[in-house]
Structure 1
Amino acid sequence: MIKYISPTFINNLLDQIDIVYLIKNRVKLKKKGKNFFGICPFHLEKNPSFVVNSTRQLYHCFGCGVHGNIIDFIMNFDNLSFLESIESIANIFNIPIIYAKKSYLSKKIYKNNIYYKLISNLSIFYKKSLFDPLGKEAYKYLLNRGFNLYIIKYFSIGFSPFYWTNKISNNTKNIKILYEKLGILQIDKKNNNYYDIFYNRIIFPIKNIKGLIVGFGGRVLKNQNPKYLNSSENNIFHKSNELYGLFETKKENNIIKKVLVVEGYIDVISLFQFDIKYVVAILGTSITNMHIKKLFSITNKIIYCYDGDKAGIEAQWKSLKISLPFLVNGKQIRFMILPDGEDPDSLIRKEGKILFEKRINNTLSFSKFFFKRLFLKNFFSSCEEKTSLIYKALSFIKLIPDYFFQINLIKKLGEKIGIINLIDIYDSFKYEKKIIINNNFKKTTIRRLLSLLIQNPKLINLVPKLEFFKSSNINGLFFFIKFVNFYKNQNLTTVKILEQYRGTKLKKVLETLLTWNHMIPDNEIENFFINLIKKLKINILEDRQEYLISLERIKGLDYKKKQELWSLNKILIKKKII
């Protein structure tokens, strides 16, 4: 039976406990003034940056950014759920727990618990199937790839048989509908039977940081596309949040000095088998902000180790750019460039653990990879090219929160370009740097457009009519279209825009956008704005395209939507060629 605790009890609990008393039994704290300082338990550090405030009953770490009340601390420190942490605190202080008669648990959480159970049961079925006669070929494939029985069982690898129960009885129909919502089952419209989207694939269960299975990855046995298939996005699985192997990495290490980020399941499993147990894999996508936050909460060093080909190098560069806002003092990213044609799985099997770890210990630092990549195709045949490179480099460097790291990078840039006093240029956007840190804004296309409009209101006349789909997943698009439609054909000024939002939460946001320095000469602002609009239009069409493809996969498209998808494909191909 699911337990419920009322908000009233939680508030009373927080009133009765002392956060300092509880935390100092887990972290050594030293009082300085009104606050207590200690070494943060959530990341590696030498100097104490973890602060507990007894007056506000809150904690905060200036190193990794974790913060919250005592419930948050217990959840993170003891790896407990929200309910479990409350029960733990109540037991420590001998406070009787009063469970609510009325449910305060949302339907969403209740459904999620059902999904966790269903997906766990399915994983057990897949594991069993690998060792059944139907899984003989899959098991043989894994052995031929060099995996031993222990590692196969450790990662709960399984196999999806080529069939699924086609007869739908009254007892199983509802369960199958739930599996369909998880994106695992689909209906064959020809015979109205359910089939498993992972059929005839080797199954890799994907666990969240708590060890709960949230999805699957499936690999084909023979050469056919797609080679890998992940669970679709659903209530409990979001690939931008999850990292394959993160739970196992935390499980195997009390202190995680570094984490290797690779591209695939096989890479993680192979490295673990060779006793390199600090590896995670992204799930068929680029590294995300959430991924980096999770990794930097358990380690101070991230090493990107992608395949040794052109696509792998491009992925390394993209990871560098996404990582920039997270490079605070003490945090570092490094790059492990593999030989051409190799991946972590193939290389460790050729070289073994000792040589592979030598490569790990000799990875490229951020600065070396940054400048190597930046100067790859830049031969300064003109002042214009040199100026363009400076702006490009500074646009990346200014996103780094660590000011002294910025200074060193700019000095190095000046040496390479031949401008000794380049550091003076940086003073022009010191203020903008502070705004970015305080507000933690990512410069999306929508925000750049709004920023330029606030700074140069006349640009609003260049905005064409934009189409908005109800299915749109582009953050801020609805607001942007509403903003443009409201202010178009008005005698618009920056002051009027800000005054319109006085007393609202958006005012502070717009004031921040007003301070953004786009590093663009005045005579190029209009063209830059037009290009951003073109980019936005493509993003809108791509977003609609992705929605229709997803819809087709789930339940199919009617004739009208098929025509729309065909038209979108044609338009996007043409736009990208142009």
Structure 2
Amino acid sequence: MIKYVSRIFINNLLDQIDIVYLIKNKIKLKKKGKNFFGICPFHLEKNPSFVVNSEKQLYHCFGCGVHGNIIDFIMYYDNLSFLESIELLSNMFSIPIIDNNSNTLKKVSKKNNIYYKLIFSLSTFYTNALFNISGKKAYKYLLNRGFNLYIIKYFAIGFSPLYWTNKILNNTKTIKILYEKLGILRINEKNNNFYDIFYNRIIFPIKNIKGFVVGFGGRVLKNKPPKYLNSSENDIFHKSSELYGLYETKKENNIIKKILIVEGYIDVISLFQFNIKYAVAILGTSITNKHMKKLFSITNKIIYCYDGDKSGIDAQWKSLKMSLPYLINGKEVKFMILPNKEDPDSLIRKEGQMFFEKRINNSLSFSKFFFKQLFLKNLFTSCEEKTYFIHKALSYIKLIPNYLFRINLIQQLGEKIGIINFLDIYNPIKYKKKTIINNNFKKTTIRILLSLLIQYPKLIKFVPKLKFFKSSNIDGLFFFIKFVNFYKNKNTTTVKILEQYRGTKLKKILEILVTWNHMIPDNKIEKFFINLIKKLKINILENRIEYLISLDRREGLNYKKKQELWSLNKILIQKK
């Protein structure tokens, strides 16, 4: 994932991507006048209150108050971080992330390119070794496991022969990178020679979502521990974010309707060979938040398909708990329970594609698996145990963002524990309508001017140079002058202004101002704005005069301040 992105790139992203086009691909929108309306994806509603403005490149819901630009929408809709959203948008619309101001980023990119090239060369070596004399046993093992030549080459499966490092490696720089940076090589303490950590293993190259080889998985030919070994963590490989087979799944499917998550490399390869080309494997670890975000950014349905034993069921329960925060509207999680002592590889070879796909289609829904496992793991014989069980069940349910789904689960829970009208008795997560406009947020001259400037940035040319007095008690005057000076000679837009204040306390205030409807026809906006500026100038003068009069009463004015008071009164009379 990217670690830094410049303000220049963010503004470029906002300029190039149309918010209507982006959101139309997620929810249904209907055009009414200048705006597009739809059912809000962030709360439960019957009548459309979600509006997208193509001119300002913003969305706003008058029901729950959510508001933002394309980055905000992706963040909340796909449950991603700020940088993850930017990376996803840049990939979706093929906008390369370039930062001309960051030498550090250039160095990191150059270094990573060297690693990618080296890892790819090593992968090619492993692949060639499989078809040489040294890889004869490994190749025979793969054929005996039922893999055909096409699938072996498709996944670029290879072999790491014994002692190959002594024969091939003669470049000190390459050895240093493989040893220190990528962790592929280690030193034999007895003879100080380097050796490959994957030696005498079948090699499975691991590709990232862009198709670059970033690491390897290695399997022993005989079942000696450890049976599987993965590349160590480094600058280009992170087990917690990579999924074996994800690149191939994207390559084979224009639209990914569902993704099957399995436990091992062999499972993925076998499923692909049987034409089930939407399987990915976690790399010797439990599913992580990074995995979930990555998967739900490309599909709406995930099916967990782990081994049919106790550890497999336990792993599915862990995956269920990890999935809870990602069950937003439209996202689905299911569970495929295999027969005891079976895994996807063994079962598909016994049953074939048709029967296996039938099992996939009959996978347990989230609610069925959730309640089945919940009642298996928690038996209660007393009122105290039952109460504890209810709190535990609700602690899981409350993590689900989808309001309607939560309500249905709470209702089901009540039915299963035998409490009638449980939803009415206990609903701590009852929906409360939010509103973005606070009635106490008074419409002052400064706030109306700011609101107009944010909504119509071109009006900034009508703002003259304003004098700021340190004694001024006009709320927001200093910020207004600072705001005008910053954007005075810049070609900016509403969406860029709001993005500039992301992460600050001012963002929420500006979001309120951008929603204000001033009920002024477009052809009269300029005149209204100019008149408000005149009013502000008078307010500034009156405020300064009041201060000087007050100062005169308290301690008297010197000659300079008396001259100022006389001058300001004269100007004020002329303006009025």
Classify the TM-score, shorter chain: 0.5 to 0.7
The aligned counterpart of 1:334 is: 334
1:195 shift after superposition = 0.3
1:298 shift after superposition = 1.1
Kindly provide the CA deviation profile for residues 208-267 of structure 1, in whole angstroms up to 9, marking residues without a partner as x.
110011100000001211000000110010000000000100110111111100000000
Q: Distance in 2 between matches of 1:130 and 1:433?
A: 63
1:49 shift after superposition = 8.6
Residue 360 of structure 1: SS of its match in structure 2? Answer: helix
1:82 aligns with 2:83: no
Q: Distance in 1 between matches of 2:415 and 2:8?
A: 62
Whether the 8 Å CA contact 1:214–1:236 is kept in 2: the answer is yes
Alignment-mate amino acid for residue 177 of structure 1: K
The aligned counterpart of 2:382 is: 382
Kindly provide the CA deviation profile for residues 399-451 of structure 1, in whole angstroms up to 9, marking residues without a partner as x.
011111111111111111111132235433548999xxxxxxxxxxxxxxxxx
Q: Aligned runs of 1:539-550 on 2, under 5 Å?
A: none
Residue 320 of structure 1: SS of its match in structure 2? Answer: helix
* CA gap 1:206/1:289 in 2 versus in 1, 3 angstroms: same
Q: Distance in 1 between matches of 2:51 and 2:363?
A: 30
Q: Distance in 2 between matches of 1:104 and 1:39?
A: 44
1:292 shift after superposition = 1.0
| % identity of equivalent residues | 67
Alignment-mate amino acid for residue 274 of structure 2: F
1:248 aligns with 2:263: no
Kindly provide the CA deviation profile for residues 23-59 of structure 1, in whole angstroms up to 9, marking residues without a partner as x.
589969865576557999xxxxxx9999575435742
* CA gap 1:140/1:54 in 2 versus in 1, 3 angstroms: farther
* CA gap 1:275/1:258 in 2 versus in 1, 3 angstroms: same
Whether the 8 Å CA contact 1:188–1:194 is kept in 2: the answer is yes
Residue 165 of structure 2: SS of its match in structure 1? Answer: coil
TM-score calculated relative to the size of structure 2: 0.64
The aligned counterpart of 1:64 is: 78
Whether the 8 Å CA contact 1:209–1:246 is kept in 2: the answer is yes
1:162 shift after superposition = 1.1
Alignment-mate amino acid for residue 312 of structure 2: G
Poorly superposed stretches of 4+, deviation over 4 Å: 6-15, 21-40, 47-54, 65-74, 78-81, 429-434
1:130 aligns with 2:145: no
Bigger relative CO (Cα 8 Å, ≥ 6 apart):
2
The aligned counterpart of 2:313 is: 313
The aligned counterpart of 2:17 is: 19
* CA gap 1:198/1:34 in 2 versus in 1, 3 angstroms: farther
Residue correspondences, number: 409
* CA gap 1:432/1:113 in 2 versus in 1, 3 angstroms: farther
Q: Distance in 2 between matches of 1:257 and 1:311?
A: 28
TM-score calculated relative to the size of structure 1: 0.64
Q: Distance in 2 between matches of 1:342 and 1:75?
A: 41
Whether the 8 Å CA contact 1:374–1:393 is kept in 2: the answer is yes
Alignment-mate amino acid for residue 344 of structure 2: P
Whether the 8 Å CA contact 2:79–2:293 is kept in 1: the answer is no
Q: Aligned runs of 1:226-237 on 2, under 5 Å?
A: 226-237=226-237
Whether the 8 Å CA contact 2:380–2:389 is kept in 1: the answer is no
Q: Aligned runs of 1:528-539 on 2, under 5 Å?
A: none
* CA gap 1:192/1:35 in 2 versus in 1, 3 angstroms: farther
Kindly provide the CA deviation profile for residues 371-406 of structure 1, in whole angstroms up to 9, marking residues without a partner as x.
111111444321111111101100100101111111
The aligned counterpart of 2:176 is: 177
* RMSD value, Cα: 3.6
The aligned counterpart of 2:56 is: 55
Q: Aligned runs of 1:60-459 on 2, under 5 Å?
A: 60-61=73-74, 63-65=77-79, 75-78=90-93, 81-83=96-98, 103=103, 105-166=105-166, 172-180=171-179, 181-430=181-430
Residue 260 of structure 2: SS of its match in structure 1? Answer: strand
Q: Distance in 1 between matches of 2:157 and 2:210?
A: 18
1:316 shift after superposition = 0.5
Whether the 8 Å CA contact 1:411–1:423 is kept in 2: the answer is yes
Unaligned residue ranges in structure 1 (runs of 5+):
1-5, 41-46, 87-98, 435-504, 508-578
* CA gap 1:331/1:22 in 2 versus in 1, 3 angstroms: closer
Q: Distance in 2 between matches of 1:80 and 1:213?
A: 22
Name whichever of 220-229 and 411-420 sits farther off. Answer: 411-420
The aligned counterpart of 2:465 is: none
Q: Distance in 2 between matches of 1:433 and 1:231?
A: 49
Residue 427 of structure 1: SS of its match in structure 2? Answer: coil
Whether the 8 Å CA contact 1:272–1:279 is kept in 2: the answer is yes
Kindly provide the CA deviation profile for residues 489-536 of structure 1, in whole angstroms up to 9, marking residues without a partner as x.
xxxxxxxxxxxxxxxx999xxxxxxxxxxxxxxxxxxxxxxxxxxxxx
Kindly provide the CA deviation profile for residues 86-116 of structure 1, in whole angstroms up to 9, marking residues without a partner as x.
9xxxxxxxxxxxx88x956342222111111
Q: Distance in 2 between matches of 1:53 and 1:112?
A: 39
Residue 223 of structure 2: SS of its match in structure 1? Answer: coil
- Which has more radius of gyration? 2
* CA gap 1:290/1:397 in 2 versus in 1, 3 angstroms: same
Alignment-mate amino acid for residue 19 of structure 1: I
Whether the 8 Å CA contact 2:156–2:205 is kept in 1: the answer is yes
Residue 209 of structure 2: SS of its match in structure 1? Answer: coil
Whether the 8 Å CA contact 2:165–2:196 is kept in 1: the answer is no
Residue 270 of structure 1: SS of its match in structure 2? Answer: helix
Residue 428 of structure 1: SS of its match in structure 2? Answer: coil
Q: Distance in 2 between matches of 1:39 and 1:251?
A: 33
Alignment-mate amino acid for residue 107 of structure 1: K
1:275 shift after superposition = 0.2
Q: Distance in 2 between matches of 1:249 and 1:50?
A: 35
* CA gap 1:433/1:273 in 2 versus in 1, 3 angstroms: farther
Q: Distance in 2 between matches of 1:123 and 1:78?
A: 30
Q: Distance in 1 between matches of 2:349 and 2:262?
A: 16
* CA gap 1:265/1:168 in 2 versus in 1, 3 angstroms: closer
Residue 216 of structure 2: SS of its match in structure 1? Answer: strand
Q: Distance in 2 between matches of 1:26 and 1:425?
A: 39
* CA gap 1:392/1:274 in 2 versus in 1, 3 angstroms: same
